[in-house]
Every structure is written in structure tokens, then in C-alpha cells.
């Protein structure tokens, strides 16, 4: 299991979100409050969209040690500004601690990260792999359930209709799991982005999903906390989606309901029900 | 492409073979003479059978940096003694530099290492993977052609008849390659061991295989070089199989012929022809 | 701060002590009960005396990631047997996470590991360094207070009279600390070995030292726990010295008293008072 | 010994200089033509000034593996743009392969990198260390001669008068070396920057310094190579200082003369004689 955060809004130094909050993701790497494990030290990664780059492919920086002691992560966080970025800290559920198993995963313009697990993944992995589009299969490099979910979602049309593709992925994983007598095959919070929009999914076969929160509208926060200078510097449509709140600011965080997903895009945030579909 | 060596004989400090020879494997990691690349710095590994262990599973130590600067490798080499061990230095042909892609690979009592490549592997990888026994598939962790060859050979009966299984593996890889219009699908030198015997294979579809040598019988070497104290300390059946000679000692090294394989076991060394078989 | 263990006795697979106990050192790397930090994930190391080696220099294997996920550590532990070994898991108090800062440290036949800290070390480091014997100074590679303590103790005669040298080291650190207005300069549990004997020190300027325990005499343990087969396999003089007990076995563990040190050698264990001496 | 490059001019993706040239620094990591070693695989680093950051401290990204296989370096290079950056690939002359020994080194706004060696460094290291300002000494983390040279130069006033401070550092190293009967104590090419200016030094006690080159004025290059679109996109004052040319473009590269140094700043490049001074 893992912890993650996704940011969308005014371009900001990654540092501001990754290190500065009281209960930042870096703090969570040692002292997670809501995660299955207290410690998330089995690798980490960040992905960011860089307007100053030549193309729309986001940057991905991943490494295998704990985030809390990684100096390169701190350097990048203090010197890179981005309007849309992911960060993830990993606690492996058994697969190898290696860079190709660290989140976020990337395909073209798309980023993907995950907290949770496919139950009995080792046993059903082959059947899932067979369903991945052969062309996409070429690009799989790691051995995690998380990357498999990404490539299944890509196979099911993520780049055209992300929400529908994730619903089909979930439906397919549940079907294959049930075929192998797995009672509750899927447990997930997932974040997806394409450089302009950001999706956050919360679902589990058992209906007891890992925690997921989104930040309150900036306008509302400004009224609640007129003293916070930070809030005057970010645009109205700035949003965070996080595994657990970054601090105890009253009114700042809202739980994403069970079996639902949110879409964050400039001027238009939405929350929808999530229903796995037959693949 | 890579370089490797396999040792079988009198229990010996790994150091004696890994570091001390004039053109040792560690020297080859920076200055290979016969390899496709001069530098083999993309990870390394050793595997050794440890009589003092509780079971027959060999130890495997693998890491991602270059062998030449790895202090832990040097420590182990100076303090571990073994009658049968493998060592491998890697130059990746494209797959990720990570521990699960380093040789040797292990399955139960069996060790496997490889130099060479499956041509166009990325493109035919999926078809090869489908042929791996589903039970065995669970244990694959990396993304190399070398590990795939090992699991195909295991699928084809490596543990019962190693030579026949490797011939079927080679035949299958060639068949799948040809189905994808690959002219010369396979290039390999492979070493396999089970703790008692050692196999060395040399084969390529094109008939221009990577270099492979075996050491001359110790008795003959003693006559050629009566001054070498080292030779009096090792048993008559001690043998080395290597990608390239560890030095320039006259009469010490013999090339393994094209399309052939050798078996090293106490009191009985053999050299056979290698012919890929229909899987 | 850190956790460590030292073993002396019947040659044993490292695994037996490192991984198998209920609250093993590997478990402590994630879930320390008595340490200043719950997590000790900033590198680790083991040092072992290898009778099968050519000389008396112990092997040292150290790496920078967490011990809990390190596959090479597990491999070595399952395949190496030793009559005297150290293991250490690190939680940095600020210095870099790098191999040369991992314990144990080695000089010739001597091993050294430490839990604790020199207060305000960054500020007094230079004055301490000046006192290290210039010949010994050449061999210092890292930046920790622990390595500095080792080299000061070597300077003060560790190889001739270990206990006296550590007392002089402690006295010197306290003197330099006091010169810089540090109230409580030293906090330490230290283990030292030369391949035959093992020393364990517990001391702090404040008189509130980190926890340290030694195992009860094997003969007594056999009477307390006649059902434990393991106890029949180890010799009477087998001993463990540990930062915290490896399990809850009643009667198995005894606290090393404040300001004292123990010596473990075949047939003769002793406990003495520890008094820092003017250097 | 090592290889390095320094860039100053129009803000540019690091990729353009680090990876794209025919004989780029990444190519030099495997195939250096003018270096003492062909392979420079013992760690690497980049440092860049980031106008989008909040302060003037440059970012530093360093890692211990070879640059040629480092995916994070490639990611950063493709997504970070900077007007002034350093890149360095290392071939150790004996000190540990660890992040704190990788270049560039940083102090406040200042970056420093080095190719060469202090002769017999291990032996004179202590005497050099004693001369470092005690306040600065606190910040030294590694064990290289290169970092020592940096901290000596800082001690001798680098931040006020860089050229004079480097001359005093060189004079001091030579004096201490001669005191220890070292015939030719210093061999160096050094690059220094403060975020606005860039210095490149070439000197050795023996008068046979490692190679160093600077790029021809952009205006001249445009006349020589009117077909190169790249040259129309960078400003007139763009400059590169490199250990060896990045390609074979006629007229593009000029050797920095023995015992001299250059200063690169907008609109005013200079070349001066370098003469070690008594410290």
C-alpha cells in the first residue's frame, strides 16, 4: 500500500506541497496516519508537466530508496515549478523494490498512480497480462499490479474516455479475480492525468476503500482562513487530491465518497459515481 | 551483451577467480577484449552453492552498479568459499538496469546466466511469455530476454534433461522469431548449474556465436606449467568456463566449438553438438 | 539513532539471528519498540568473521537502503555461517545516507558499531578530527560521529586495551563537548570485536543511556525452556548483545546497567563499570 | 579523472547539450577520447541555476551509477531549461563512489567541479583539511580532493575574488605537497560559477594539464556554419567550456592555454594567465 498526492492549479514549486505542509507526503513516508502501513519507504516517484519542455510528455523522477532521505527529490522540489504534478510514496505488497515498479507510470502524455492492490495478483497476473493490447504490452517494464491496471485501462481506451476505461479495467479485474475464486479482487485509489485534466478514483470490491480526499474550493478556503497568504497566491481552480490530508486545517479537506471519482479541470470540477463495467 | 564465468572444482575463495587473474572478470567489466562492448557496467551478479547452508538453494548476490567499484562484491569474494559458482557482468541491450534483470537467475537449485540476445525481443516477447508454464510464470520478475530463455527452458524440462530443454528453448525462440520475420533470432552463450553439474552452451542462429572457452584439464596444465603453485592446490576435475580467457597462459584455454555444449561433472567432462529442437 | 546486535558462539547461519526471531533486527528496522525512532531505514550493515577466509580481517557488507527490503542481505544471511558477527540498522541523525556512513566500521581485525550520538557533532567535529592519529586519519572515509568515535578509540589504544581506549575516547569527547558548552556531549551504546572477543558498552553523559541487553547464559536458558531445540544446538558460551530483545522469552534478556560494559569471550564473561577517562 | 562541461547563455533544455551532440558528455561517459580513462562511470552530477526558483541557490542532482544508464538524468535533461549549468561524469581516483563525492559541489550560490587530482592526496589530506576555515569545515561531507580544493578556495576568498582564491588554493596545495616531497602536487581543470559568471581554470604543477576547450563566439560560428539553425536560436554571448569537444565541427572549439583561466559573462569574455600564489 502507498500514499499519493496530485496537484492541479497555479504553477508552484513542488516543495510547497511536497515538503512544507505539516503532514506532508514526506512526513507520511515515515508517519502515515491513515495508510495500511505507517512507513512508506519502498521507493517513490514524482511526475510533472513542464510547460518549458518541448513536448507534452511529463517528466518522471523515480528512485528506490525512501523519499524522506532522498536529496535529489528535495533538490528538484525546490527548483521545479509545475501547474500539474503527481507524487507517490510506496510500501510494496511484495513485488520488487525497483525503479520500474515506482509510480507514477507514464504513457505518452498520461500519468497514472495507485494505492491499493489486486488481491492474489501473483496468481491472476498472467490472465490479466493476456488481455493487454499486444502493442501496449511492449512498453510494460515492471512487475506491479499498479502498472498492469494502467495498461489494462490504456487497452480499454483510457486516452479517449478515461473514466469509462477505468471502469472497464475494474470490471475486468473483478471478473478475472472471481474466475479464480477471489472474493474481493480490487482495492484502489487511482490518479490519472493528461496534462490538462486530473482524475481521482476511489473504489474497492469490498466497499471499504482506502482513504482519499480533495481540497475545498480555494474561494471557500479564503473565507475560512483569511489570514493564510498562500491562498491569495493560487488561482480559484487550484486543487489537491490526496491519500490523506496534509494537515489539520479545518474545512480544508473533503472525503471522496466510496465508489466515486472526481475530475479536476479549470473552472469545472465534478464528482461522479464509479461503477465497474464488463470489459 | 555481457561477460560471464562459471567455476566448478575444489572449494575456493571467489576472489581467486574473480579478482586475481590478470584479465579477471572485474578487469573485463572495464576492458573486455572479445565482447561486443568494451564496458560491461550495467549491473552484475554472482551465484554460489554454499555447502554450509541448510539447503541446496544457491545464494545469489546482484546489484545494479558496475562490478569494478562495488565494495560488497569484493568483500564477499574475499570471504566466501565455494565449489561451484557463477559470475556475470552486464551490458544491457536495452532493458532496464535493475536487480531483477541481473544474472544469474535462480529457480530452486538451478542457476542460469546468459550472454547474447534474442533479436527483436521487444516485439516477440509477448508470444514467448505465453509459452511459459503458468505456474512458472508467477516467478518471473524481470524484463530481460535472458530470464525469458530460462523460464522457457524450465517449461521445456530443464530440471529433468537440461541439454534437451535448452535445445527446445532455442528451437522455440527461432520458430517464434521466424514467424515474425526475424532472420537470426537467437545469439547465446548460456551457463546452467544444479549444484553438482555445470553446463555451458554456445549457439547462434547465424552460426557466429559469442566467444566461449573452457579451461584445459588441470593435469595437463600442471605438466605445462610446473611452476604454478596454484595448480597443485586444486583437484584434477576443477574447470572454468568463461566468455573470454582470464589471462594469456599458453595452453590454458580452449574454445567451445560453434553449436555445441559442454558438461562439467566430477570425473567426467563431455562436449556435445547443440541442435535446436522443435518445442 | 539506530539498533544493533552482536553474536558470539557456535557458528550459525546469520539468518537464524537476523530474520527468524519474532522481533528480529529486520523487524526492528520497521517497528523498533525501544529506539528513539520506530523506523531505522537509513542504511544497514553486517560484519562477520569468516573462518574459511585466508586472513583474520572480517567481511563487511553495507548498503544504503532499508534492511527490510534488501534481497542481498537476505541471501547472505541464508548462506553464510559465522561464530562472531555484527548487524546494524541505521536511522541517521543528519549525516548523509551513504555506504561509508553505515556500520559496522572496520580497521584491520576490528569491528565497531554504535547507537547514539555526539551532541552538536557538526560543531565539534573538527576539534575531534584533529585528535585522530594522522596515520589513522588517512583511513576515515565517512562523516559520522560513530566513525569518529572509532578512530579516536583506535588513537587511544583500542587494539591494545579496548576498554581503556573507549573510556579515554568518551572522556575526550566529553571534554571537547564541555569546551564548546555542550551539557551532555555523549550518548552511546557501542560494540567492538577483534574476532575472538566481543565488548558491549553502555554510557551517556546524562546517565540516561540507550537500551542495551545481553542474553542469559545458555545453560540457564536450557533449564528455563527445555522445549527449545535451538538451545541444545549452541554451545554454552554463546551470547547475544542487542539494542532491544529479539522476543519475549521470559528470563532470556538482561539489561546492561548504566555506565558499564561487558566482555564476551569463550568461558569467561564479565561485566565492569565504565568511567570516562581524561584522554 | 573525469570529464565535465559548463554552459552559459540562452536558457536551453539541458538535453540539447547533454545528450544531443555527436560526442556528448553522455557519450564521453562510455567513450572519452581525451580523458585519462575511456570510461567515466563512477557517478555523475549536474547543477543548474533555476530562474523559476525562489532563491539564487542552484539545484544539484547527483547519483552514483553511470550517467549513460541513468533514467532520471535523462528525464531532468528533457524537462529543465537553464541559462547556466554544469555537468560532470566521474572516474574515481580511489575515493568512494558516493553521492557526496560527486560533482558539482555547492556552497550557497556557488558551484564547483573539477577534473584532475591532488597527487598523494590521501597522505596530505589532513594538512589540507586543517587549513579550511572551521566554519566552512562544518559543511564538508565527502572525501575527495575536489571538494577539499573547493573548500580551500572558499577559505581563501572565492566568493569575493574567485580567480585570486583559486590561485591561492593552487599555491597552498603545491606548498603542502612540496613539504611532503610530492614533485607535482596539482593537476586540475576547474569550473566555478555564481549564477551570473562562469570561470574555467586549467593548470598543473607539471605544465601538462588535462584538456580544456571553450566554444568559439556564436557570431563567428554563424558565419562559419550558416546552415546550423541551432546557432540562430542562441544569443551572441552563449558559451560552452568543456573537457573535450562535443563534436567535430570545424572552427567550433579552442583550447584553453596551459596555466590560464577564462571568465564568461554577458558581453565580456576574457582569458588570463593563471599563477599559483602563496596562500
3-class SS letters over chain B = CEEEEEEEEEEEEHHHHHCCCCCCHHHHHHHCCCCCCCCCCCCEEEEECCCCCCCCCCEEEEECCCHHHCHHHHHHHHHCEEEEEEEEEECCCCCCCCHHHCCCEEECCEEEEEEEEECCHHHHHHHHHHHCCHHHHCCCCCCCHHHHHHHHHHHCCCCCCHHHHHHHHHHHHHHHHHHCCCCCCEEEEEEEECCCCEEEEEEECCCCCCCCEEECCHHHHHHHCCCCHHHHHCCCCCEEEECCCCCCCCCCEEECCCCEEEEECCCCCEEEECCCCCC
Is D134 touching C (CB cutoff 8 A)? yes
Q: A35 falls in which pLDDT band (50, 70, 90)? A: confident
Residues of C in contact with B60 (CB under 8 A): 75
Q: Is D278 inside any structural domain?
A: no
Q: Is D49 inside any structural domain?
A: yes
Nearest to A97 among C69, C92, C97 (CB): C69
Is D96 touching C (CB cutoff 8 A)? yes
What is the DSSP secondary-structure string of A239-267? EEEESS-SS--TT-EEEPPTTEEEEE-TT
Hey, of C12, C75, C99, which one would you mutate to test binding to chain B, going by the most B CBs within 10 A of its CB? C75
Q: Is the pLDDT of residue D250 over 80?
A: yes
List the CATH number of the domain containing C179.
Answer: 3.60.20.10
φ, ψ for residue B240 (rounded to 5)? -120, 140
The whole-angstrom separation of Cα B117 and Cα C65 is 32
Task: Test B38 with D41 for CB contact under 8 angstroms.
Answer: no
Task: Give this complex's ipTM.
Answer: 0.95
Q: Is the pLDDT of residue B170 over 90?
A: yes
Is B59 touching C (CB cutoff 8 A)? yes
Task: Test B129 with A125 for CB contact under 8 angstroms.
Answer: no
Closest residue, chain C, to B59 (C-alpha): C75
Q: What is the mean pLDDT of residues D100-118?
A: 97
DSSP code, position A69:
G
Contact A233, A170 (CB under 8 A): no
- pLDDT over 90 for what percent of chain A? 78
Lowest mean pLDDT among A63-72, A89-98, D10-19: A89-98
The whole-angstrom separation of Cα D245 and Cα D249 is 9
Q: Is C68 inside any structural domain?
A: yes
The whole-angstrom separation of Cα D170 and Cα D206 is 13
- pLDDT over 70 for what percent of chain A? 100
Task: Test A80 with D52 for CB contact under 8 angstroms.
Answer: yes
Q: State the smallest CA–CA distance between residue A112 and chain B in angstroms.
A: 20
Q: Give the tens place of pLDDT for each residue, B37-72.
A: 889 999 999 999 998 887 899 999 999 999 999 999
Lowest mean pLDDT among A36-40, A84-88, C10-14, C189-193: A36-40
Query: Strand, helix or coil at D48?
Result: strand
B267: left (phi over 0), alpha (psi -120 to 50) or beta: left
Q: Which residue has the cell 570425473?
A: B267
Is D267 touching C (CB cutoff 8 A)? no
Contacts of B183 (CB under 8 A, 6+ apart): B119, B205
- Residue of A276, A216, A222 lying closest to A241 (CA atoms): A216
Q: Which residue has the cell 494505492?
A: A115
Q: What's the pLDDT score for residue B92?
A: 87
DSSP code, position C161:
-
* pLDDT averaged over every residue in chain C: 93
Q: A232 falls in which pLDDT band (50, 70, 90)? A: confident
Q: C251 falls in which pLDDT band (50, 70, 90)? A: confident
Is D232 touching A (CB cutoff 8 A)? no
- pLDDT over 90 for what percent of chain B? 78
Q: What's the pLDDT score for residue A274?
A: 98
Q: Which domain holds residue B111?
A: 3-273
Q: What's the pLDDT score for residue C263?
A: 96
Q: D167 falls in which pLDDT band (50, 70, 90)? A: very high
Q: Is the pLDDT of residue D38 over 90?
A: no
Residue that wins the pLDDT comparison between B218 and C181: C181
Q: Is B62 inside any structural domain?
A: yes
Q: State the smallest CA–CA distance between residue B263 and chain A in angstroms.
A: 34
Q: Give the tens place of pLDDT for each residue, A234-253.
A: 898 899 999 999 988 888 99
The whole-angstrom separation of Cα D172 and Cα D134 is 17
Q: Is A95 inside any structural domain?
A: yes
Q: What is the mean pLDDT of residues B244-250?
A: 89
Helices (H), chain A: 14-18, 25-31, 71-79, 121-131, 134-137, 145-155, 162-179, 218-224, 229-233
Task: Test D38 with B42 for CB contact under 8 angstroms.
Answer: no
Q: What's the pLDDT score for residue D196?
A: 94
Lowest mean pLDDT among A31-35, A180-184, B251-255, C270-274: A31-35
Q: What's the pLDDT score for residue B101?
A: 96
Q: Is the pLDDT of residue C202 over 80?
A: yes
Residue that wins the pLDDT comparison between B243 and C232: B243
- pLDDT over 90 for what percent of chain C? 78
Q: What's the pLDDT score for residue D240?
A: 94
Q: What is the mean pLDDT of residues C137-152?
A: 95
- Residue of D145, D274, D91, D275 lying closest to D200 (CA atoms): D274
| Residue B259 grid cell | 553449436
Query: Strand, helix or coil at D15?
Result: helix
Beta-bridged to residue B44, according to DSSP, are: B63, B89
Residue that wins the pLDDT comparison between B43 and B226: B43
Q: State the smallest CA–CA distance between residue B136 and chain A in angstroms.
A: 10
Beta-bridged to residue D188, according to DSSP, are: D116, D203
Is B13 touching C (CB cutoff 8 A)? yes
Contact D156, D136 (CB under 8 A): no
Chains sharing 3 or more CB pairs under 8 A with chain D: A, B, C
DSSP code, position C221:
H
- pLDDT over 70 for what percent of chain B? 100
Q: Give the tens place of pLDDT for each residue, D179-223.
A: 999 999 999 999 999 999 999 999 999 999 999 999 998 888 888
Half-sphere exposure of residue A145, counting CA atoms within 13 Å on the CB side? 28
Contacts of C121 (CB under 8 A, 6+ apart): C93, C145, C148
Q: What is the mean pLDDT of residues B170-181?
A: 98
Lowest mean pLDDT among A194-203, A231-240, B228-237, C69-78: B228-237
Q: Is B212 inside any structural domain?
A: yes
DSSP code, position D253:
E
Nearest to D126 among C123, C125, C137 (CB): C137
Beta-bridged to residue A87, according to DSSP, are: A5, A46
Q: C87 falls in which pLDDT band (50, 70, 90)? A: very high
Q: D73 falls in which pLDDT band (50, 70, 90)? A: very high
Q: D238 falls in which pLDDT band (50, 70, 90)? A: very high
Q: What's the pLDDT score for residue A65?
A: 92
The whole-angstrom separation of Cα A131 and Cα A277 is 15
Q: A267 falls in which pLDDT band (50, 70, 90)? A: confident
Q: What's the pLDDT score for residue C112?
A: 98
Contact C237, C267 (CB under 8 A): yes
Task: Test A143 with B99 for CB contact under 8 angstroms.
Answer: no
Q: What's the pLDDT score for residue B167?
A: 98
Query: Strand, helix or coil at C263?
Result: strand
Residues of C in contact with A65 (CB under 8 A): 64-66, 97
Contacts of A185 (CB under 8 A, 6+ apart): A118, A119, A120, A124, A173, A174, A176, A177, A178, A205
Q: C-alpha distances in angstroms, B220 versus B7, B70, B197, B257, D90?
A: 18, 35, 22, 20, 45
Nearest to C64 among A65, A92, A97 (CB): A65
Q: Is the pLDDT of residue C185 over 80?
A: yes
Contact B103, B92 (CB under 8 A): no
Compute the Cα dihedral for D221, D223, D229, D231 and give only its sign: positive
Contact A63, A34 (CB under 8 A): no
Longest dimension (CA), chain B: 56
Q: B271 falls in which pLDDT band (50, 70, 90)? A: very high
Name the pairing type of β-strands A110-118 and A186-193. antiparallel
Edge-to-edge order in the sheet of strand D110-118: D105-107, D110-118, D186-193, D198-204, D260-264, D270-273
Residues of A in contact with B99 (CB under 8 A): 96, 98
Q: Is A279 inside any structural domain?
A: no
Contact A54, D13 (CB under 8 A): yes
Q: C-alpha distances in angstroms, B49 versus B6, B210, C103?
A: 12, 27, 28
Q: What is the mean pLDDT of residues C261-267?
A: 89
Q: B215 falls in which pLDDT band (50, 70, 90)? A: very high
Q: What's the pLDDT score for residue D229?
A: 80
Residues of C in contact with D123 (CB under 8 A): 138
Task: Test C53 with B13 for CB contact under 8 angstroms.
Answer: yes
Task: Test B61 with C54 for CB contact under 8 angstroms.
Answer: no
Q: Is the pLDDT of residue D138 over 80?
A: yes
DSSP code, position C155:
H
Q: What's the pLDDT score for residue C128?
A: 97
Is B38 touching D (CB cutoff 8 A)? yes
Q: What's the pLDDT score for residue D55?
A: 80
Is B48 touching C (CB cutoff 8 A)? yes
Q: State the smallest CA–CA distance between residue D271 and chain A in angstroms.
A: 32
Q: Is the pLDDT of residue C90 over 80?
A: yes
Q: C61 falls in which pLDDT band (50, 70, 90)? A: very high
Q: Is the pLDDT of residue A279 over 80?
A: no
Q: Is C104 inside any structural domain?
A: yes
Q: Is the pLDDT of residue B186 over 90?
A: yes
Is B271 touching D (CB cutoff 8 A)? no
Residues of B in contact with A140 (CB under 8 A): 143
Model pTM above 0.90: yes
| Domains of chain C: total | 1
Q: State the smallest CA–CA distance between residue D65 and chain B in angstroms.
A: 5
Amino acid at each position: 500500500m502507498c500514499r499519493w498526492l496530485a496537484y492541479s492549479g497555479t504553477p508552484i514549486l513542488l516543495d510547497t506541497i511536497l515538503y512544507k505542509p505539516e503532514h506532508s507526503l514526506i512526513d507520511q513516508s515515515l508517519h502515515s496516519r491513515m495508510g495500511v502501513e505507517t512507513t512508506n519507504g519502498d521507493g517513490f516517484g514524482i511526475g510533472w508537466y513542464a510547460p518549458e519542455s518541448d513536448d507534452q510528455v511529463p517528466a518522471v523522477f523515480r528512485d528506490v530508496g525512501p523519499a524522506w532521505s532522498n536529496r535529489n527529490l528535495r533538490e528538484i522540489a525546490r527548483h521545479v515549478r509545475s501547474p500539474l504534478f503527481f507524487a507517490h510514496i510506496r510500501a510494496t505488497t511484495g513485488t520488487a523494490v525497483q525503479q520500474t515498479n515506482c509510480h507514477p507510470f507514464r504513457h505518452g502524455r498520461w500519468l497514472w498512480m495507485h494505492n491499493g492492490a489486486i488481491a492474489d495478483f501473483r496468481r491472476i497476473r498472467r490472465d490479466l497480462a493476456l488481455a493487454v493490447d499486444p502493442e501496449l504490452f511492449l512498453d510494460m517494464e515492471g512487475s506491479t499490479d499498479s502498472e498492469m491496471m494502467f495498461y489494462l485501462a490504456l487497452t480499454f481506451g483510457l486516452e479517449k474516455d478515461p473514466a469509462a476505461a477505468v471502469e472497464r479495467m475494474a470490471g475486468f479485474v473483478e471478473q478475472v479475480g472471481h474466475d479464480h475464486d477471489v472474493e474481493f479482487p480490487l482495492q484502489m485509489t487511482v490518479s490519472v492525468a493528461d496534462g490538462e485534466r486530473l482524475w481521482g478514483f476511489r473504489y474497492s470490491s469490498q466497499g471499504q476503500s482506502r482513504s482519499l480526499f480533495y481540497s475545498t474550493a480555494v474561494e471557500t478556503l479564503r473565507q475560512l482562513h483569511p489570514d493564510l497568504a498562500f491562498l491569495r497566491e493560487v488561482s480559484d481552480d487550484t486543487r489537491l487530491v490526496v491519500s490523506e490530508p496534509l494537515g489539520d486545517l479545518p474545512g480544508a479537506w473533503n472525503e471522496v465518497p466510496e465508489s466515486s471519482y472526481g475530475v479536476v479541470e479549470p473552472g469545472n470540477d465534478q464528482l461522479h459515481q464509479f461503477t465497474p463495467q464488463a470489459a
